[in-house]
Amino acid sequence: MGRQVTSQVQVEAGFPALDRFGFAVPLGRTDAKRVLDVVLSLSLLLLAAPVLALVSLAIVLDSRGPLLFCQRRTGFNGRIFGILKFRSMHVMEDGAEIIQATAHDTRVTRVGRIIRRLSLDELPQLFNVIAGDMSLVGPRPHAVAHDAYFGAAISNYALRQTVKPGITGWAQVNGARGATPNLKVMQQRVDLDAWYVTHACMALDLKILLRTPLEVLRSRDVP
């Protein structure tokens, strides 16, 4: 009963009903974020069309296999969706066990190594944003198999799924990119994601978007 009363107060105050984690999101901010996601994603797709074409051609000429890789990821409130990426490896893992790429991983193609370093393999996720499965900014979604493992080992892991996953996020612009070889590294990334969830606002999203290109250009060891 108390929960129902709280939800009603939230609605009257301009908030939607509480989600299953007990968090409420201002309706105006949600709507504005969605408009920004769609408008900016469409604009980026138009501007990046030549890059998309060149990457597509390079992948097709470099190795056999499909152009795009679709893998099951966990999104907002635990909803499963298929994330789109340019194929950068010889394998297409999406099962109960998924091995993260490592430095000098032989599964990564020649073109794949380049597009992964520049994060060009993530560009097809703009279609995920337009479809509503993702946002431009939010915690990076992980493979379903990894969610099961890390979710059982890290107490605040589920907090990441109280907002839409993003192409970029607070963790990524603070250097938390690439493989997560152990629980300590993942915990550090989850803590950054948790900070974002509790401080999320349009100003923070814009700050992350502005910092993302600089972070992508920074030299880093990407498998």
Say what the pLDDT of residue 2 is: 41
User: How many CB atoms sit inside 10 A of residue 158's CB?
Assistant: 17
Say what the pLDDT of residue 104 is: 76
* pLDDT average, residue stretch 167-189: 90
Q: Which tens digit of pLDDT belongs to each residue from 60-72? A: 999 999 999 999 9
Which of the four pLDDT bands, split at 50, 70 and 90, describes residue 95? low
User: How many CB atoms sit inside 10 A of residue 86's CB?
Assistant: 23
What is the rounded distance in angstroms from the CA atom of residue 191 to the CA atom of residue 208?
16
Does pLDDT of 219 surpass 60? no
Say what the pLDDT of residue 11 is: 37
**Nearest CA-CA partner of 73 in 154, 128, 137:** 128
Full DSSP string of 18-53: P-TTS----HHHHHHHHHHHHHHHHHHHHHTHHHHH
Say what the pLDDT of residue 167 is: 97
Say what the pLDDT of residue 101 is: 74
Average pLDDT of the residues of the chain: 85
* pLDDT average, residue stretch 169-178: 90
* pLDDT average, residue stretch 202-206: 95
Does pLDDT of 26 surpass 80? no
Which of the four pLDDT bands, split at 50, 70 and 90, describes residue 28? low
- Exposure string (b/e) for 186-213, b if CB count within 10 Å is 16 or more? bbebbebbbebbeebeeeebeebbeebe
Residues in the chain: 223
